[in-house]
Every structure is written in C-alpha cells, then in structure tokens.
C-alpha cells in the first residue's frame, strides 16, 4: 500500500522537475526562486514558519520550520536542494523537464539528484505542520546552489544566517541503495561522510619564441607533459579505517578476495562499484584541465594543469602538497590552491544514525545497514562543520544497487522508480516521527 502522502509528493516532484532550475555554475543561473515559489505554495496554510533567503536575484533558498512542543526534544533539519545540473538535450529521448511518468518511472533532470528526496522532505514536514507539530522541532530547507558547492546556498546561509535553523541533526542526499553481495544477502547504505576537495592548479614556465625556431628552447609544454606523467603514477595509500573496512566486509567475499579489495590490490570483485570503491578508499587525483599557448606559431612560456583532488577524512592540504612536491621533485613548478575543503564524517554511534538503521531494517528485514562515505560533495558538510551530524539517507527497492542508483546521477534520461519515491517517503516519515518523539509512529 502506498503512503498516504504519495500522490501529493509525486505532484510536488513533478513541479520541481518542471521548474528547470539549471545551475551552470554562474551566479545568474539556477533561478531557484521558481522552485522556492512552488514550495511556498505547497506549504500554504500549513502553519509552518517560512523564511526566504536571496543572496543574489533569483537564487532563493527557503526554510519551513515546525517548532517543537518540548525544548528538550531533539530537532531535525532536512536539507534538500532545488537546483539541478545542465542537460545535453540532444542525448535525451524525451523532454528533460517534462517529468513524464512511464512504466513506473518518472523521468527528468534532477529526479534522482535530488528532487525526489527534496519533495519527500517537504511532504513529511508539511504533514507534521498540519498535525500541529511534534515534541522536537522539524525544519525543511530547500537550498539553492548545491550543484556549485553551495556558495549561494548552504555556505552563504552558514556565513550570513547561521542561526536561521538548527544544524544539529541533518539529513540530505542520498543513501538507501543496496550492495550486490557475494552471498545474496541484503545490505543497504547510509552516507556518514564525504570526501574533501583539494583542487590544485600546477604552473610551469618555459621560453617564449617563434614556432619556427624551437632550437634550445625550454618548452613549457614538455614540462607540463612530464608533470602529467608523474602525477598519473602517484599511488596514494589505501585507507584502513573502519568505514572502508566495513564497506568491503559487507560484500561477504571469501577471505582472499576481501583482502585483495581492502588493500586496493584489485577492485574488480566490486563489479559495477569498482570505481566507487577506488574513489572512497584513498585520496584521488583526476587531471581535468590543461592549458598552454594561443597561436600555433608561438612557443608558449606558460602552461598549467588543473587537478580535481578529493581527500579522505584526516588528510590535510599540507598532506596533498607534500605528495605532489615529492612526485614532481626536480621540476620547477608553482602549485596554486583552488577550492579546498576538508573531508567531513559523522559518527556511527549516534542516536540519529540508530534511528536511520532501525527504519531501514523495518523496511528491509534482515538487511545489514552499511555506513559509507560519498566520493562527491553535499550540503551535509556544512552541518558537520557547524558541530552537528549529517547523514545521507533515502530508501530504494532491494533490486536497486548502489551502482544502479549512481548511474542515474547527472545522466541522460535520468529517471526514478516511483517505488523508490514511496519507500523514501515511508522512511522519512518514520525517521522524523521516531527521532522527534512522536509516540504515535508513522502511517
């Protein structure tokens, strides 16, 4: 039986997809005001307190708070984002903003990342408001600019309105997908942390000159090529922390295979999750941008290479620079810092995590609940930096593996199974009521 709020939640998700709040990383894009207005209409006459935030025109975040009746009860804050990434419309087989429902799926940009969770959060919060509230305060925030790392969304709110709502106990994307275990047992994920960012731009200098006379010139292009070659050979140390160890153990491999995966010797037993396992098990370095020269007949005196580096919890900017300088010893380079943010992680031994685990085991009896970290970023890092906890949480059907869910992120023809919308609605309703002290439980 579908949750009683399913139809309203699906209608809201449809409207949010159709809002087409595409964030192309420029300040004037996104225009999340459209989805903020949709959410405000959705909450009309609910009794929730509304706050709107607009750092630049059109980039609106919106918060709905239902105050608790018991000051001692734990609050919860649901962080949903309302922006989506751009689309290559020529690669879609349907209108990416039509929110078309077909064969038990809803298609559209943002349907998985993360508008379905945002819609669920809103529906559950509105229902709590209509009921008059719970012992603990419930807040839902529709955040702008998450896809550009939150500079006009969560990061801006933390800087300019840090007390607008509680950051103590937060939920956001994504979680709830299943692992393809070796023995067929069920294991479902919760995100407890995410890797950090340590972006670098590496500069080298060489001799300028005419392209017709390269003799004895110090070539910046040859240098940057050597830089790229050496960086490609860096082999960062594989993690030995409990989260990585537990993730591998959840697959229930034989001892020899488990040792090979855990040590980073061979990720192939993870199958569709081999790249994910590689990403979350050690510091990763992706060479993404290369620049040198302008005219074909001019020797460029400057070349640079940009690196998307993602760090594990506990790894610092100093650690990253030491690794790069060691690899590039003997080459005269300048290392420029771009976006730098430390990795964040929340404890597994925490009352909110215990509730998440309890609810997932109610939905999937006998399943192991497996904490993991995200290779990318989310707005949860701002909660953790503020001293709170943040967990990525949703619920997908048993046959939806972590690899299958990840395959939908930023994909062409992105779609969500409606069954997963209903499961996530059930899960959030139960979590909010359990954690905020509703003895009646969820429906």
The string of pLDDT tens digits covering residues 183-203 is: 999 999 999 999 999 999 999
The string of pLDDT tens digits covering residues 9-29 is: 999 999 999 999 999 999 999
Q: What Cα–Cα distance (Å) separates residue 320 from each residue in 2, 114, 236? A: 49, 31, 10
**Tokens representing residue 120 in the block:** 């669920």
Question: Would you say 128 and 75 are in contact if contact means Cβ atoms under 8 Å apart?
Answer: no
pTM: 0.94
Question: Would you say 192 and 353 are in contact if contact means Cβ atoms under 8 Å apart?
Answer: yes
| Cα diameter, the chain | 82
> What is the band of 343 on the pLDDT scale with cuts at 50, 70, 90?
very high
Question: Would you say 29 and 59 are in contact if contact means Cβ atoms under 8 Å apart?
Answer: no
pLDDT at position 1: 84
**Tokens representing residue 369 in the block:** 């609940």
Return phi, psi of residue 398, to 5°.
-55, -35
Report the 10 Å Cβ neighbour count for 16: 28
pLDDT at position 442: 39
Q: What Cα–Cα distance (Å) separates residue 153 from each residue in 11, 165, 169, 314? A: 25, 14, 18, 26
Q: Which residues contact 45 (CB under 8 A, 6 or more apart)?
A: none
- With b for 16 or more beta-carbon neighbours within 10 A and e for fewer, the 327-348 pattern comes to bbeeeebeeeeeeebbbbbbeb
Please check the confidence at residue 440 and state whether its pLDDT lies above 60.
no
Question: Would you say 63 and 141 are in contact if contact means Cβ atoms under 8 Å apart?
Answer: yes
Residue 236 gets which letter from DSSP?
Answer: P
SS3 281: helix
Q: CA-CA distance, 442 to 73, in Å (whole number)? A: 18
Please check the confidence at residue 120 and state whether its pLDDT lies above 80.
yes
Helix 220-232 to helix 317-327 angle (10° resolution) is: 110
- Structural domains in the chain, CATH included, are 6-181+344-435 (3.40.630.10), 196-341 (3.30.70.360)
Question: Would you say 242 and 279 are in contact if contact means Cβ atoms under 8 Å apart?
Answer: no
Q: CA-CA distance, 8 to 139, in Å (whole number)? A: 19
Please count the helices (runs of H) and the strands (runs of E) in the chain: 13, 18
Please check the confidence at residue 443 and state whether its pLDDT lies above 70.
no
Please check the confidence at residue 438 and state whether its pLDDT lies above 80.
no
The string of pLDDT tens digits covering residues 364-374 is: 999 999 999 99
């Amino acid at each position: 039986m579908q949750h009683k709020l399913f139809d309203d939640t699906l209608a809201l998700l449809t409207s949010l997809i159709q809002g087409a709040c595409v964030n192309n990383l420029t300040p004037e894009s996104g225009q999340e005001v459209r989805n903020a207005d949709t959410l405000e209409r959705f909450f009309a006459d609910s009794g929730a307190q509304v706050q709107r935030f607009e750092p630049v025109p059109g980039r609106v975040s919106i918060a709905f708070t239902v105050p608790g009746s018991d000051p001692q009860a734990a609050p919860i804050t649901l962080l949903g984002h309302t922006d989506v990434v751009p689309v290559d419309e020529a690669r879609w087989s349907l209108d990416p903003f039509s929110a078309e429902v077909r064969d038990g799926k809803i298609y559209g940009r943002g349907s998985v990342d993360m508008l379905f969770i945002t819609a669920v959060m809103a529906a559950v919060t509105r229902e709590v408001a209509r009921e008059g509230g719970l012992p603990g305060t419930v807040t839902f925030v529709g955040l702008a600019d998450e896809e550009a790392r939150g500079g006009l969304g969560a990061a801006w709110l933390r800087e300019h309105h840090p007390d607008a709502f509680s950051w103590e106990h937060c939920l956001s994307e994504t979680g709830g997908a299943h692992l393809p275990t070796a023995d067929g047992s069920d294991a479902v994920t919760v995100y407890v942390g995410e890797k950090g960012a340590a972006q670098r731009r590496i500069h080298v200098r060489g001799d300028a000159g005419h392209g017709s006379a390269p003799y004895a010139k110090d070539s910046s292009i040859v240098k940057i090529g050597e830089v790229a070659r050496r960086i490609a050979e860096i082999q960062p140390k594989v993690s030995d922390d409990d989260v990585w160890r537990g993730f591998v153990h959840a697959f229930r491999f034989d001892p020899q295979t488990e040792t090979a995966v855990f040590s980073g010797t061979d990720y192939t037993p993870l199958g569709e999750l081999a790249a994910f396992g590689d990403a979350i098990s050690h510091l990763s370095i992706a060479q993404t941008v290369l620049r040198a020269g302008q005219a074909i007949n001019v020797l460029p005196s400057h070349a640079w290479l940009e690196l998307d580096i993602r760090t594990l919890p506990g790894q610092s900017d100093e650690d990253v620079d030491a690794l790069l300088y060691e690899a590039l010893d003997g080459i005269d380079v300048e290392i420029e810092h771009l976006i730098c943010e430390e990795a964040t992680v929340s404890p597994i031994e925490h009352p909110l995590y215990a509730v998440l685990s309890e609810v997932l085991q109610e939905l999937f009896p006998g399943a192991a609940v497996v904490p993991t970290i995200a290779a990318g970023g989310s707005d949860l890092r701002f909660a953790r930096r503020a001293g709170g906890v943040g967990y990525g949480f949703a619920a997908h059907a048993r046959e939806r593996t972590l690899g299958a869910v990840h395959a939908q992120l930023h994909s062409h023809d992105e779609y969500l199974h409606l069954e997963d919308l209903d499961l996530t609605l059930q899960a959030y309703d139960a979590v909010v009521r359990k954690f905020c002290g509703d003895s009646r439980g969820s429906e």
